Amino acid sequence: MTSPQPHPDLERLLDLVSVPRPNGSRALRRTARALRAHLALSGVPCRAEPVRSAAYFNELLGLWLILSGVGLLAAVVGPGGGVALAVALLVVLVPVLESGLLLPMVTGWIRVPAENLICELRATEPREEIVVSAHYDSKTELLDHLGRRWLLDPTRARVAMGLALLAGLASMTASTLQVNGAGWAILPLLISWVAAFPVAMFAAALGANLLLGRWRTPSSQGAVDNGAGVVVVMELCRRLAHGELTFRNISVTGCLFTGEEVQMQGARSFLRGRRADALPRAMVNLEAVGQDGGYGIWEADGTALTRRPLDPGLTESLEASVRSVTGVPPYHLPTINSDALPFLRAGIPAAVLSTLDRTHGLEGLHSPLDRRERVHAEKVSECVEVLVEWLGTIDREVGGREGTTGREISTDPRDQ
């Protein structure tokens, strides 16, 4: 099928969001101001939603992992006993709270102001809200998006935590036996040493990947992850605001989230600001779109310690929309970590859409391989058409369920 011709602004917007913009940086703040200005000039209603960002999440967690891993090894070799057990408990507890439960323990010590950019195209009467989102922050790591998978594998993480607890308990047992004069205390002591060593190596490797990425040069331009997604959301909102397309039964909220690369902080802040009775009906999140290969739809979303399935109904309708626009079915991809996760945790159905690069696939994200040349304006326009098709499907579903055609979306400021 022939791809739609891109809007003239798309190339300029893609250049704008193809610069390194890590959390807490001046570049990220400049990008936010530039995006707001462009939306205002385009006539798109947009509000800046303040976020208190733990911008150095990766660096602080990386430092903690290195220190706690080395500290465990030092504790079992040195004082042992209760000290080793206490350190082992911290080695396990902090990652579980930070990654599994999304509760900051060491990463919230430094916070800086940031903002989500929210484009609300509300109907004149209450109706169901659909969120279309992308994040505008970027990240660079020592290992790229695929290379780090070995370190972020949930099974390996759980094995490392189990070994840490084993090292602490064995060291405590050895100390107790030594106090009681037992001659075989050397056995649990050796077990504690053997168990602590791989934990220290694993924690050091994972910690270094998080801690040192910000200083890697050249840095990721964040064009694929996730500048192209930002441009898709902005173009969709522009077309809605200008009346180039309308939906009768749904309201569309375009969200440009900050802080996705630091544990989805922007998306989490957005949902915390909502009443339980005012949550969106559904959301679709864009990650790594605009590349020249086929589309991919993800099956699950999560962190190294927690995963949730993405909504099968939304995934099916999104797959049908891709097939309708392109004539080609999308790939099914396993697990991603994205802004969809907080929505899933809040009980909101979510789906995640990506594209693949014909040469690199999804390789090179969070690395210098993520650069402007990998994004194509024609594919960005095509992605907008996929979303238009998908939103039309949702609109018809809502109208059929409510037995009404409703009214068209209004962008009158008095209705916002």
pLDDT for 407 beyond 50 = no
What's residue 6's pLDDT?
60
> pLDDT at residue 361 above 80?
yes
* Least confident among 120-134, 286-300, 317-331: 120-134
Are 145 and 365 in contact by the 8 Å Cβ rule? The answer is: yes
Of 110, 99, 102, 18, which is closest to residue 59 (Cα–Cα)?
A: 110
Arithmetic mean of pLDDT, 280-292: 96
Q: Average pLDDT for residues 393-398, to the nearest whole number?
A: 91
Q: What is the mean pLDDT of residues 344-367?
A: 95
The answer to whether the beta carbons of residues 411 and 121 sit under 8 Å apart is yes
Predicted confidence (pLDDT) at residue 410 exceeds the cutoff of 70: no
In DSSP terms, 119 is beta-bridged to 254
Peptide bond before residue 226 is cis, with ω within 30 degrees of 0: yes
Backbone φ and ψ for 151, nearest 5 degrees, come out as -75, -30
The domain covering 9-55+113-139+217-415 belongs, at the CATH homologous superfamily level, to Zn peptidases (3.40.630.10)
Kindly state the average pLDDT of the residues 357-373.
95
What's the mean pLDDT in 46-54?
Answer: 96
Report residue 94 as tokens: 């902090």
Q: Which of 61-75, 149-163, 399-413 has the highest mean pLDDT?
A: 61-75
Residue labelled with tokens 């802040």:
269
- Give residue 1's pLDDT: 46
pLDDT for 404 beyond 90 = no
Rounded mean pLDDT of 229-235? Answer: 98
Cβ–Cβ < 8 Å for 152, 57? no
Strand-pair category, 331-336 with 295-302: parallel
Instruction: Quick: pLDDT tens for 1-26.
Output: 445 556 677 899 999 999 999 999 99
Cβ neighbours, 10 Å, residue 415: 14
Three-class secondary structure of residue 322 per DSSP = helix
Interval 333-346 mean pLDDT: 96
Overall average pLDDT of the 74-78 stretch: 94
- Output the pLDDT for position 183: 66
- 301 φ/ψ angles, rounded to the nearest 5 degrees: -135, 140
Task: Please state the domain extents for the chain.
Answer: 9-55+113-139+217-415, 61-105+148-214
Q: Tell me if 228 sits within 8 A of 302, measured CB to CB.
A: no
- To the nearest whole percent, how much of the chain has pLDDT over 90? 78
SS3 state at 163 = helix
| 112-138 average pLDDT score | 88
